[in-house]
Structure 1
């Protein structure tokens, strides 16, 4: 019995000091964060059913296909590799752009969601039932997420857990604030929920109007960046159709020139986009 207690105590102490003795490698933590970020981007883009490995495989196949097509049309190895790199990054850029567009569209409907929720609470419905009504009375773009919330709540009866799953489905900073407000009201209680939600709706409408105006004024910067990056490569592709130009670009100097041009294009594009982009809201309540 004494030996068993000693072994149990030793194992307990070992488990306590294990994180310090064998810390999780930084590389694994970074990979986990990257996978989580990719998963969140897919959800925000409306591609929640697509897994991260599937997305990576499709991107790799697209890169190989683009390289083969470009090398067939323009027999320049450097250009084929550059096309493969661009095709590999393109799905990530499209998902990010689609996620940003969906957040921009959702920014307009969130005040209406809050208004519907205030109306349901003021009519005397319980807070979970008020949230459930958004599956039928809310804006069209958010009904599927709230319908899934209704199914989760009916199955588990756990309001907090269902809110957490709803937050993961929506993956939106505004939704995070709204859901955490509802969670706090449910756990703490109080009669100020409708007043808080009205103030939130007013703030969201003002913020959406301001951001839309600023984005409209700065859209020319983004369009100029895209045109400035695409124009030299279109000219390069046209020049490479000539045999003497293709032979020149297939040399070591030509490969260095194409590689340097690709690097400069990426850096210049990122700078122009950073100048013309408004900082996006961060999700603080994950």
Structure 2
């Protein structure tokens, strides 16, 4: 009986000391979050942040398998099936990138108006939370839902900093990050220079949007030529692959090497052309 009591006492002491002897370690979910973080960022920039990254991964896998299977059925060239699978798998990502680029171009045109409305609210004597919440009614239509969500969150929680973080994540735009951080700094530090800063920011955004629009129009032919140069040879190859004699030739080791070499040359040429026609995009430094 004495031995049982001693064992129970030792077990109790060990349980009491266990938080210090074996501290709880974070779960191994960080690598998974790091893996899905670029996809979540892409979904946010495309304006579909409600879609889970896992759904995008499943769509990529299904598109790749379907593209490879259909190509192998209609064009019986074994070397083309994995290439078609990779191309089909990249379609959801390319669609999201195109949507994100179009959304950024559309937002670039409205940010000066957003800053002007915010400046008007500050000049009218509104507090910073009230001025930002007023953008739910005064801001241009593309960004109005985000500010409406901010107003609902602020009325419910009254936590200005947390609501600004949510607003920044919803907009997912570098210009929005600068506006939000400017408002946050003015709220925390204070001062009378906020109207001057907002006025200068509005002027800069208008000048930047005008320059980018002109340069983008002049560089669009480079991107169009790059896409045409990539697609045209492979359309010809797919048409040739439907012929039995051509399919037999491409199914040989030499034909597979030729297809792989053509793929490498296409990728290098496409990347070079896109690099020549790409404008540097502003990064999100305040995420």
How many angstroms does 1:254 deviate by? Answer: 1.3
Provide the residue aligned with 2:75 in structure 1: 74
| Pair 1:213–1:37, CA change in 2 (3 A) | same
Give CA-to-partner distance per residue, 1:219-255, whole Å, 9 cap, x none: 1111111011111101111111111001111112212
Alignment-derived partner of residue 232 in structure 1:
233
Residue 72 of structure 1 deviates from its aligned partner by: 1.8
Residue equivalent to 2:135: 134
C-alpha spacing 1:107/1:34, structure 2 compared with 1 (3 Å): farther
Question: What corresponds to 1:147 in structure 2?
Answer: 148
TM-score relative to the length of structure 2: 0.89
Q: Which residue is 2:97 aligned to?
A: 96
SS at match of 1:133: helix
Deviation at 1:77, TM superposition (A): 1.4
Cα 1:9/1:238, change in 2 over 3 Å = closer
User: Aligned to 1:102, what secondary structure does the other structure show?
Assistant: helix
> Which position in structure 1 is the counterpart of 2:252?
251
Unpaired stretches in structure 2, ≥5 consecutive residues: 1-12
1:85 aligns with 2:77: no
Q: CA deviation at 1:9?
A: 11
SS in 1 for 2:47: coil
Aligned length: 275
Q: What is the DSSP-based 3-state SS (H/G/I as helix, E as strand, rest coil) of the residue aligned with 2:282?
A: coil
Q: Which residue of 1 aligns with 2:125?
A: 124
**Structure number with larger C-alpha Rg:** 2
Q: Which of 105-114 and 253-262 deviates more?
A: 253-262
Secondary structure of 2:125's match? coil
Distance in 1 (CA, whole Å) between partners of 2:208 and 2:249 is 54
RMSD: 2.3
Q: Which 4+ runs in 1 deviate beyond 6 A?
A: 7-10
Structure 1 gaps, min length 5? none
| Structure 1 residue 10 displacement after superposition | 9.6
The answer to whether 1:11 aligns with 2:20 is yes
Q: 1:173 to 1:248 in 2, by over 3 A?
A: same
Task: Decide which moves more: 117-126 or 163-172.
Answer: 117-126
Query: What is the rounded CA distance, in whole Å, between the counterparts of 2:98 and 2:141 in structure 1?
Result: 21
